[in-house]
């Protein structure tokens, strides 16, 4: 778990609640899963390297090194959608306040606005001179 991402998880997110005690501790390396994690932990395997994640209520969104964006159900860990369109790794993600849209920034120097209901790109923003973090 990338410890520094925890403070940015919404307060209602299960991820933040599950790891709330970790927020007040220093970063430490743990080998294996601690017993106290119990049923809270899930393992999800990916075909590409995950670069970033964000969550909102019942959805986790993962930006991949392949340029894809994967949405997961927070309870089961199952994939609910695959958003394709970036040609470089996705390094930043953010939900709109109403959770109907997602914005992504990529190594391909673009920002994309996604409609989460259709999975389509609403608009691509070009003109960045470097990758978008």
Are both 51 and 89 inside the same structural domain? yes
Measuring CA to CA, how many Å separate 62 from each of 11, 37, 44, 74, 130?
19, 22, 11, 12, 21
Phi, psi at residue 3, to the nearest 5°? -55, -40
Are both 67 and 115 inside the same structural domain? yes
The pLDDT assigned to 1 comes to 45
Are both 84 and 31 inside the same structural domain? no
Are both 35 and 47 inside the same structural domain? no
Spell out the per-residue pLDDT of the chain, length 133, in tens: 445 566 666 667 776 777 776 665 554 555 555 566 555 556 788 888 899 999 888 899 999 999 999 999 887 888 999 999 999 999 999 999 898 999 999 999 999 999 999 999 999 999 999 999 8
Residues 13, 1, 51, 130, CA torsion sign: positive
Are both 25 and 56 inside the same structural domain? no
> 3-state secondary structure string, 34-79?
CHHHHHHCCCCCCCCCEEEEEEECCEEEEEECCCCEEEEECCCCCE
Are both 99 and 119 inside the same structural domain? yes
What's the total number of domains in the chain? 2
Q: Which domain holds residue 67?
A: 42-133
Are both 129 and 82 inside the same structural domain? yes
CATH code of the domain in which 77 resides? 2.40.10.480
């Amino acid at each position: 778990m990338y410890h520094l991402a925890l403070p940015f998880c919404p307060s209602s997110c299960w991820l933040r609640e599950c790891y709330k005690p970790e927020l007040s501790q220093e970063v430490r390396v743990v080998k294996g899963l601690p017993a106290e994690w119990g049923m809270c932990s899930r393992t999800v395997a990916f075909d590409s390297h995950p670069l970033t994640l964000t969550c909102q209520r019942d959805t986790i969104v993962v930006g991949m090194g392949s340029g894809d964006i994967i949405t997961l159900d927070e309870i089961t860990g199952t994939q609910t959608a695959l958003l394709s369109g970036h040609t470089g790794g996705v390094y930043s993600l953010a939900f709109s306040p109403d959770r109907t849209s997602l914005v992504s920034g990529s190594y391909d120097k673009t920002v994309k606005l996604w409609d989460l209901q259709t999975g389509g790109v609403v608009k691509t923003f070009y003109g960045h001179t470097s990758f978008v973090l």
